[in-house]
């Protein structure tokens, strides 16, 4: 008799969003085995999973999704009923510096997983019955909107990626849909806006700036700070992924967003206000750290998600309001300086020094 009712393989479960999702699934579904497959790149950190690592329904497998043999072997051993695929190179600036790494992980890695899942599921008597491949993607595949044009990205918005990162994610989305259309694999694609929250690697805007404020370092605002992003608390993304994986219609796409647009410069000032208040500094203390620097190449002006489909069809809406989420996030980074030290030392230190420390 099977010990667990279902086995779900989560890729990238040691990263920022993946670790929140893994914790949620392990805790909420004791009758499902969660197999976390992660290569532990600079962005993967098993410390993120401490609270669930000894739970009986959790297993960690260190593997590179670009290694077909390793993935095939893990799939043969665990025989997952579903895959939730988050493993990726996720940082736009890195994709501008080293695009091929993004093609390798985000495109080739995704195809390897699709092939391994197809091989396993087509060898089973029930084939694709009860199986699911959920690909976690980004709103950046839709390109950019104009500030004030009132438009939002919908599931039917045409793809127009600009950065090597978004081009690689767009490509992987197309491959996932191709496996649905060609082989009949039950696939799901979700496209989400910018996440923030605990455990995000301090190369992304919010954790980088919290860390820099804490250390009285410059805050490098790209261009004039007029770019707009739609921010969602990471646990809300995890709850949306849980919902879509369990209740989404196979073959469908769902947009996920926070309905929470901020101009970068306004967000940075709000962040400074919250960090200064949590540090007990007089209001405005850290405003002098704002430093305008050369803009990101091909910097998309505005992202904004229409998340009405997931609300209408699956009843999902974000639970965390932005002031609450931002304060919790700031508090977490201030209380977990050891985590920050750990992830910014070692292999990452050189890159961190070059990119951020002296700006
Ligand atoms: P992250 O960079 O924090 O984590 C990525 C994880 O993938 C790490 O644990 C890393 O070790 C692992 N990984 C990388 N390459 C791998 C490989 N070759 N084999 C196995 N594991 C590998 O990323 P994140 O911000 O948590 O994003 C997770 C997913 O969500 C990505 O697919 C990303 O495109 C998507 N996404 C992110 C955001 C966001 O705001 N961060 C928003 C929308 C969608
Ligand atoms: O929209 C979803 C995407 O959000 C995800 O798919 C990506 O994985 C994730 O990294 C994020 O991409 P962004 O490029 O929007 O996030 P980032 O935190 O790098 O930047 C947010 C905004 O802040 C963006 O307009 C660039 C700007 N920025 C960023 C950094 C790191 C700065 O002005 N200065 C900085 O130092």
What is the pLDDT at residue 354?
A: 63
Sorted by where each begins, the domain ranges of the chain are 6-195+233-259+303-321
Centroid of ligand 1 to alpha carbon of 37 (angstroms): 12
Q: Are strands 228-233 and 261-263 parallel, antiparallel or unpaired?
A: antiparallel
User: Which segments within 39-192 are labelled E, that is strand?
Assistant: 58-62, 82-85, 132-138, 187-192
Residue 252 Cα distances to 1, 133, 211, 316, angstroms: 33, 11, 39, 15
**Global pTM value:** 0.97
Tally: H helices and E strands in the chain: 13, 12
> What is the residue with the minimal CA distance to atom 30 of ligand 2?
205
Separation between Cα atoms, residue 303 and residue 230, nearest integer Å: 6
What is the pLDDT at residue 344?
A: 85
Among this protein's residues, is 350 annotated catalytic?
Answer: no
What is the pLDDT at residue 347?
A: 57
What is the pLDDT at residue 345?
A: 82
Q: Which residues line ligand 2 (CB under 6 A)?
A: 90-92, 138-140, 193-194, 204-205, 208, 220-222, 227, 229, 264, 296, 303
What is the pLDDT at residue 1?
A: 57
What is the pLDDT at residue 2?
A: 72
Cβ-based burial of 105 (10 A; exposed 0-12, middle 13-18, buried ≥19) = buried
Report the b/e string of 296-335 with b at 16+ CB within 10 A: eeebbebbbbbbebbeeebebebebebeebbeebbebbbe
- Regarding the beta carbon of 88 and ligand 1, being less than 6 Å apart is answered yes
Integer distance in angstroms from the first to the last C-alpha of the chain?
59
Q: What is the CATH number of domain 6-195+233-259+303-321?
A: 3.40.50.720
Residues of the chain with pLDDT under 70: 1, 346-359
What is the pLDDT at residue 65?
A: 98
For the record, the structure tokens of 341 come out as 């030290």
């Amino acid at each position: 008799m099977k010990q667990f009712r279902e086995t779900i393989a989560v890729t990238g479960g040691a990263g920022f969003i993946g670790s929140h999702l893994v914790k949620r699934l392990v805790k909420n579904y004791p009758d499902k085995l969660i197999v976390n497959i992660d290569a532990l790149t600079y962005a993967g950190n098993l410390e993120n999973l401490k609270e669930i690592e000894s739970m009986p329904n959790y297993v960690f497998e260190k593997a590179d999704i670009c290694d077909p043999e390793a993935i095939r072997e893990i799939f043969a051993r665990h025989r997952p009923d579903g895959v939730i695929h988050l493993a990726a190179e996720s940082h736009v600036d890195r994709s501008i510096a080293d695009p091929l790494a993004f093609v390798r992980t985000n495109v080739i890695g995704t195809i390897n997983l699709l092939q391994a899942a197809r091989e396993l599921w087509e060898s089973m008597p029930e084939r694709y019955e009860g199986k699911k491949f959920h690909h976690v993607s980004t709103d950046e595949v839709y390109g950019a909107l104009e500030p004030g044009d009132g438009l939002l990205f919908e599931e039917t918005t045409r793809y127009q990626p600009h950065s090597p990162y978004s081009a690689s994610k767009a490509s992987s989305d197309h491959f996932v849909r191709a496996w649905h259309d060609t082989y009949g694999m039950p696939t799901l694609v979700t496209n989400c806006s910018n996440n923030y929250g605990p455990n995000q690697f301090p190369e992304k805007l919010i954790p980088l700036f919290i860390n820099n404020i804490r250390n009285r370092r410059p805050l490098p605002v790209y261009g004039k700070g007029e770019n707009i992003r739609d921010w969602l608390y990471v646990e809300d993304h995890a709850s949306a992924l849980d919902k879509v994986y369990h209740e989404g219609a196979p073959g469908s796409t769902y947009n996920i967003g926070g309905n929470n647009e901020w101009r970068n410069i306004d967000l940075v000032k709000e962040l400074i206000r919250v960090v200064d208040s949590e540090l007990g500094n007089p209001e405005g203390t850290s405003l002098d750290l704002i430093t305008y620097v050369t803009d990101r190449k091909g910097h998309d002006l505005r992202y904004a998600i229409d998340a009405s489909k997931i609300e209408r069809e699956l009843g999902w809406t974000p639970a965390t309001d932005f002031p609450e989420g931002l304060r919790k996030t700031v508090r977490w980074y201030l209380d977990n300086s050891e985590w920050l030290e750990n992830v910014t030392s070692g292999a990452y230190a050189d890159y961190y020094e070059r990119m951020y420390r002296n700006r």
